[in-house]
Structure 1
Amino acid sequence: MFLLWEDFLRSDYRDWRGSGHTEELLDKPDWLEQWLTVHSLPYPGAPTAKEVNELKQLREHILHIVQKLTVSEAVDPINLEGLNRALSSGPMILHIAESNSDFRLDTTPLQTGWSRIGAEVAASFGRLLTDCEPSRLRICDNPDCRAVYYDETRNRSKRFCDERACGNLMKVRRFRARQKAAESGGPSNPDSPEITV
């Protein structure tokens, strides 16, 4: 299952198979409701145009941060400001709860609505930045996909968001490119532009 921030970034849908089909899922209330249900968050009702625009801006800030981190460049302060703005829109109260003689720190949001959802997304991504290794963030090598994922392999060698989908597709494309080059008598270069399946 994807983390909240990963699913959020995938709301800018691209057909990984190369058809060119794209879809803006943040404009679809049904998708938003299903996405929040999967992540156990309350659906605040269909967002206004302003709220959708704020979600899209947050997605862009997160994506720009990922793009910088994947090439070991400094993150643009404007994108961190965007992340922090989303976090400040969903303040929470911390409180201690006890259950069976165990204590836990719970949070209760002061706001409901889409500003709270934006804050949850920003917090999900923020936890990755602070608690994990941001250098493990990757963008899928399939140019038709470009999904963002966290590489948990030991040697940090994962190239595709999904080896069975994008990984296999790209292997087929490379194989066909080599076959075509061999048939035409040209050099076989697996790194040459690939033919779309």
Structure 2
Amino acid sequence: MDTLWTDFVNSEWHDWRGSGRSENRLVLTAWQDAFLDKWKLEAPVPAMGQEIDEMQTFRRHLHRLAAELAAGGSISQTDREWLNTMMAPGLVRRHLDGDEQAMRLFLSPVGNDWRQVMAEVAADFAKTLLEGESLRIRICENADCKWVFYDDTRNRTKRYCDDKMCGNLMKVRRFRARKKAEMKKET
């Protein structure tokens, strides 16, 4: 399951195949456009230098919090205060929609800058915490990948961001390591 906050955190991409290559997609105009469009947010593109710096700092902090939760930790009071600070600039407009049987309250961002975007990302992360879903936050066990993901499996045992990519790669690596160890024993 893709969430706003995981999509933002994963803008720091690492080659899951082990080449050591990485890419800071946060600075790419094409990534910014696609991200804003996907999540129906508005901000000037391309983001400017100071905005990029703030977003990178924000991303690092959010990744650290996700890693702590994935390791079984919890959010400290200082981290809660930081999240509140990040959400503060995020003004929203509320409106009711639907019929009597299926009314919903919608919150629409009022601002159209990168601080509003970060506030929405922080709010999405906070929503994950409030819904008790922090136990489902994972970091891919492929050390080359480092992808943050939400474990949407029933038994909460997902180990890789994608079973077909990282999962298969790690299975092949384990198989080859076993075969190599067996060959060494035979010699």
Which 5+ residue runs of structure 2 have no aligned equivalent?
Answer: none
> Number of residue pairs matched?
185
The alpha-carbon distance between structure 1 residues 76 and 98, as it changes in their structure 2 partners (threshold 3 A), is closer
Which structure has more relative contact order (CA 8 Å, sep 6+)? It is 2
Equivalent residue, structure 2, for 1:37: 37
Distance (whole Å) between structure 2 residues aligned to residue 77 and residue 16 of structure 1: 34
Equivalent residue, structure 1, for 2:118: 118
Is this contact kept in 2: 1:61–1:82, CA < 8 A?
no
Equivalent residue, structure 2, for 1:179: 179
Three-state SS of the structure 1 residue aligned to 2:128 is: helix
Structure 1 residue 43 displacement after superposition = 4.2
* 1:74-85 matched pairs, under 5 angstroms: 74-85=74-85
Is this contact kept in 1: 2:65–2:75, CA < 8 A?
yes
Equivalent residue, structure 1, for 2:142: 142
Q: TM-score, normalised by structure 1?
A: 0.85
Between the two proteins, what is the percent identity of the paired residues?
Answer: 39
Is this contact kept in 1: 2:32–2:45, CA < 8 A?
no
Structure 1 residue 100 displacement after superposition = 4.6
Structure 1 residue 51 displacement after superposition = 0.9
Distance (whole Å) between structure 2 residues aligned to residue 43 and residue 149 of structure 1: 25
Equivalent residue, structure 1, for 2:50: 50
Runs of 4+ in 1 over 6 A off after TM superposition: none
Is this contact kept in 2: 1:64–1:79, CA < 8 A?
no
Three-state SS of the structure 2 residue aligned to 1:138 is: strand
Distance (whole Å) between structure 2 residues aligned to residue 100 and residue 73 of structure 1: 42
The alpha-carbon distance between structure 1 residues 57 and 76, as it changes in their structure 2 partners (threshold 3 A), is farther
Distance (whole Å) between structure 1 residues aligned to residue 154 and residue 2 of structure 2: 20
Is this contact kept in 1: 2:86–2:122, CA < 8 A?
yes
Structure 1 residue 155 displacement after superposition = 2.2
Is this contact kept in 1: 2:139–2:161, CA < 8 A?
yes
Q: Could you tell me which amino acid in structure 2 is paired with residue 167 of structure 1?
A: G
Q: CA RMSD in A?
A: 2.0
The alpha-carbon distance between structure 1 residues 108 and 173, as it changes in their structure 2 partners (threshold 3 A), is closer
* Cα displacement string for residues 69-99 of structure 1 (whole angstroms, at most 9, x for unaligned residues): 122223344433332222001122334x344
The alpha-carbon distance between structure 1 residues 52 and 82, as it changes in their structure 2 partners (threshold 3 A), is farther
